Structure 1
Amino acid sequence: MSTSRRRIATLAVSSIAALSLGLTGCAVGEIGGDTDAGEGQTEITYLIGDSGGTALPFAEALTKKFNEMNPDIKAGVETQPAGTEGDNLIKTKLATGEMPDVFGYNSGSLFQAINPDQNLVPLTDEAWAKDLPEEFKVVVSTSKGLYGAPTGTTQAGGVVYNKKVYADLGLKVPTSWAEFKANNDKIKADGKVTPIEQTYGDTWTAQLFVLGDFANVAKKDPKWADEYTANKRKYVDQPALQSFDNQQDAFESGYFNKNFASAKYDDGIEAVATGTAAHYPMLSSAIAAINQNFKDNVNDIGFFALPAPDAADTQMTIWLPNAVYIPKTTEGAKLDAAKKFVAFINSPEGCAIQNEINTVTGPYVSTCELPADVPDMVKDVQKYLDDGQSSPALEFVSPIKGPNLSQITVEVGSGIKSGKEGAALYDEDVKKQAQQLGLDGW
């Protein structure tokens, strides 16, 4: 089996104690017309977060195919808003017993926050559960059981780069920060393209120097996430300080585009896709925008991990997918139907729909396989996984993430604050959240 078709390899995870902060789900409204069950049919509803993109088309295609294959069941789709509003609605529906029969939500820390043992049906004994890698099981489980099935692919945080620029200048993918700097120095000296694109007009994009570097921190200090959660590690100290220092270094070296302060994410995608920039620190989900807007350039794009100071510590940071769950209020024939639907999502037919409608941004953690024509950039991500050179993002191994990281990294990346000053600010920024969570040591 070729690399592009393999399932996710084992992630190199040190210690997963507290779990993930993921993307929050999604807005109230029934989709797909009449969902009344016909005579002899069991009716179920699938709640999704509709934040645009392929979420709704995928859910509609999934339920349509499921209904065709299960004439005794009729599955419908319901949507709800994204962000904090959607997160609060999930908690409210679970608390009031009004949650639809199956729902999509985060894995990791936000999953733990919805009291899964109290609110969800355990799925530990379902046939598909045995095929999940441990790295995913732990972000949808408690000590009492496993509750979720994955939907969608992983994504990585690192550096999106233009392979044509690399070929023209005879560059090799760097494995250390010094090698990365040497590449950027050569690109800068050539003077034709921007070495590193930055897009602080969309402030969230400034975080990748820090968030995408976490696997390198974990490699250097495997206990870092647990100790950070216990308030015994700080960003102002090494090895985590390197993340902020690297962003300061890149700015001071003059690697950024002149309009870095106002450029937007779409500008960054265009720059790296068309080769006016060589590098763009970003999530591998960027391949979706590149595929949509610069289809002819898709295979000009590659991906590599943000390099650590020491090449031996360079790892790729991975974001795990969301999951689908069944609330305990789903009972009887509806529960049997809901379990069938959850299993269907990662069945051969469900996987085919995922590959057809969703944009593949990384490997799967289910039995689904990547399509043969997956973009080269996704193959690059897969290779790090196959080689055991990856581990999860911090938000999957600690519940702590301060609200102002994007603003702080904009300041560091703009030369307003030094790396150490930014790291110290962020150490202060996380305190309130840690205290709100009631974590020991804070």
Structure 2
Amino acid sequence: MSCNAYVNRIGEPFKTIQWTRRDIVHTSHLTLRTAVAVLALAALTSCGSGSEPTADGTVTLSFMTGSDQAIVDTSKALANAFMTANRTIKITIEQQPGGSEGDNIVKTRLSTGEMTDVFWYNSGSLLQALNPAQTLVDLTGDPVLANVQPDYLPVVTQQDKVYGVPASTLNAGGILYNRKVYQQLGLQVPKTWAEFMANNDKIKAAGGITPVIGTYKDTWTSQIFVLADFHNVQAAVPTFAQDYTAGKVKYATTPAATGGFQHLADVHAKGYLNKGFGSAVLDQGLKMLVQGKGAHYAMLSGLLPPLLANYPQTATDVGFFGIPGDDPATNGATVWEPPAIYIAKTTEHVEAAKKFLAFVASPAGTQAVTAAVKPSGPYRVKGSQLPADALQVAKDLQGYLDKGATTPALEFLSPIKGPSLEQITVAVGSGLTPPAQGAAQYDKDVEKQAKQLGLAGW
């Protein structure tokens, strides 16, 4: 799965919901693991390209979004604020499941001409899988993009054509940590892996607190130690992304790339993980972290905002640092650019859809989101600033950006992402597979996809 995805979750069902300006505010919040409707029924529902204008000139746009709570809240906030300002345009929202299941739904509905007018999807190299030239509305040079930061545009561009606008904030991948635990034990944010492991030793010795949280029942969460380690891979091998795409380098034969698998093995071998890590799920891991029952959690910062309702201390008690490498001089963080909102070429309401996207990519749009979801990272929209009460993780990420110490995740630089990585990392992180063997298994997994994509060198 993509960690963008940041943040779409594997195995979530979805439902179709219609929200008006009035009732969108009163829709009850879903928990991170709320089951919503039956996938089969929803999949059979054609949302197509929206309804025809009504007698009073009202246009209805259909909007497919994700199922993760932060994505749901962000989408609701955008739709609500937009409809308030545009009385002749209504938006119906449909949730899709996360992970490969949701990904397949998007691709299928685009290919059959049954996609919603606008939809939320990954940015980066995964965009090419949608065959955007045939399925999406080209926004190149359109005023819709006026407020989009230029350094975001490459992740929604294919063949020199721009197709989307940033749907949310920049997302960090690395170590979420409990700042109160650090304060209690006199720990400092580590800049090397050795320092990180030394901190874990002290936490374990103190007793009563899990040094590193594992939630491998939600298998995708096991990937973060590998995916978020890419800043260190890039620092050691600057051409890795290009050479990897060309089939010239492999994980198993590149020590820096094998490092993420080794990290998984290290925390297990040292006994740092929580009891029952194999059956624990994401929600449990996040709550352990916020409550100070666990000190570290390799995770994405974008998953924190929904916790604020029940755990307001999330805003201040949880910090972020990038997965440390071997050299403190190259210390930094791996980031996931925001997913995007796109317009399906099958829409009958292009101008209304563009109007919505222009709002999404405007200071007014980001303000609407901030009012509903405290940002867990900086926006990619000109004129949008982090509020003073932004989550601490957002402030920590901003510090890395200010230092120029960030690297996009590999999925933004290469189209190759093997489908079995999460199963491989669960086995490595559980002590069942040696890290070198796990890296070699992933190389084989990747090879299948590279050949399917028809990439040269494979």
**CA distance 1:415–1:117, shift in 2 (3 Å):** same
The C-alpha deviation readout for 1:71-122, integer Å capped at 9, x for no partner, is 4x32322415324454344334434444443333221233212222233222
Matching residue within 351, 355, 359 for 1:340: 355
1:32 paired with 2:19, answer: yes
Q: CA deviation at 1:201?
A: 2.8
Residue 13 of structure 1 is matched in structure 2 by none
Residue 397 of structure 2 is matched in structure 1 by 381
Aligned equivalents of 1:229 and 1:440: distance in 2?
8
Is the 2:147–2:362 contact (alpha carbons within 8 Å) kept by the matching residues of 1? Answer: no
**AA at the equivalent of 2:163:** Y
1:63 paired with 2:50, answer: no
Matching residue within 191, 208, 218 for 1:202: 218
Matching residue within 408, 420, 428 for 1:404: 420
Q: CA deviation at 1:30?
A: 5.9
TM-score, scaled to structure 2? 0.83
Q: CA deviation at 1:27?
A: 5.4
Aligned equivalents of 1:175 and 1:77: distance in 2?
46
Residue 456 of structure 2 is matched in structure 1 by 440
The C-alpha deviation readout for 1:45-90, integer Å capped at 9, x for no partner, is 132224252545544543343334234x323224153244543443
Aligned equivalents of 2:347 and 2:118: distance in 1?
8
Residue 232 of structure 1 is matched in structure 2 by 248
Matching residue within 322, 345, 348 for 1:328: 345
Q: CA deviation at 1:151?
A: 0.8
Aligned equivalents of 1:90 and 1:42: distance in 2?
27
Task: Report matched runs for 1:241-320 at 5 Å.
Answer: 241-320=258-337
Aligned equivalents of 2:5 and 2:298: distance in 1?
21
Aligned equivalents of 1:382 and 1:118: distance in 2?
37
TM-score, scaled to structure 1? 0.86
Q: CA deviation at 1:323?
A: 1.2
Aligned equivalents of 1:158 and 1:420: distance in 2?
21
Other structure's SS at 2:243 match: helix
**AA at the equivalent of 1:70:** N
Which of 1 and 2 has higher RCO (CA within 8 Å, sep 6+)?
1
Q: CA deviation at 1:231?
A: 1.4
1:158 paired with 2:174, answer: yes
**CA distance 1:178–1:131, shift in 2 (3 Å):** same
Matching residue within 442, 452, 456 for 1:426: 442
Sequence identity, in percent? 45
Is the 2:7–2:303 contact (alpha carbons within 8 Å) kept by the matching residues of 1? Answer: no
**CA distance 1:123–1:192, shift in 2 (3 Å):** same
Aligned CA-pair RMSD: 2.7
**CA distance 1:218–1:102, shift in 2 (3 Å):** same
- Point out the more displaced range, 212-221 or 183-192: 183-192
Other structure's SS at 1:307 match: coil
Q: CA deviation at 1:42?
A: 5.2
Matching residue within 107, 112, 115 for 1:91: 107
Aligned equivalents of 2:83 and 2:235: distance in 1?
46
Aligned equivalents of 2:237 and 2:444: distance in 1?
21
Say how many residue pairs are matched. 420
**CA distance 1:297–1:321, shift in 2 (3 Å):** closer
Is the 1:154–1:318 contact (alpha carbons within 8 Å) kept by the matching residues of 2? Answer: yes
Is the 1:201–1:262 contact (alpha carbons within 8 Å) kept by the matching residues of 2? Answer: yes
**AA at the equivalent of 1:291:** L
Is the 2:232–2:330 contact (alpha carbons within 8 Å) kept by the matching residues of 1? Answer: yes
Task: Report matched runs for 1:153-232 at 5 Å.
Answer: 153-232=169-248
Q: CA deviation at 1:140?
A: 0.8
Residue 91 of structure 2 is matched in structure 1 by 76
Aligned equivalents of 1:269 and 1:28: distance in 2?
25
**CA distance 1:327–1:258, shift in 2 (3 Å):** closer
**AA at the equivalent of 2:360:** I
Aligned equivalents of 1:432 and 1:179: distance in 2?
37
Is the 2:290–2:318 contact (alpha carbons within 8 Å) kept by the matching residues of 1? Answer: yes
Other structure's SS at 1:240 match: helix
Is the 1:290–1:298 contact (alpha carbons within 8 Å) kept by the matching residues of 2? Answer: no
**AA at the equivalent of 1:284:** S
Other structure's SS at 2:334 match: strand
Is the 2:376–2:391 contact (alpha carbons within 8 Å) kept by the matching residues of 1? Answer: no
Q: CA deviation at 1:174?
A: 0.6
1:138 paired with 2:125, answer: no
Aligned equivalents of 2:73 and 2:201: distance in 1?
45
Q: Extract unaligned runs of 5+ from structure 2.
A: 21-49
Residue 49 of structure 1 is matched in structure 2 by 65
**AA at the equivalent of 1:206:** S
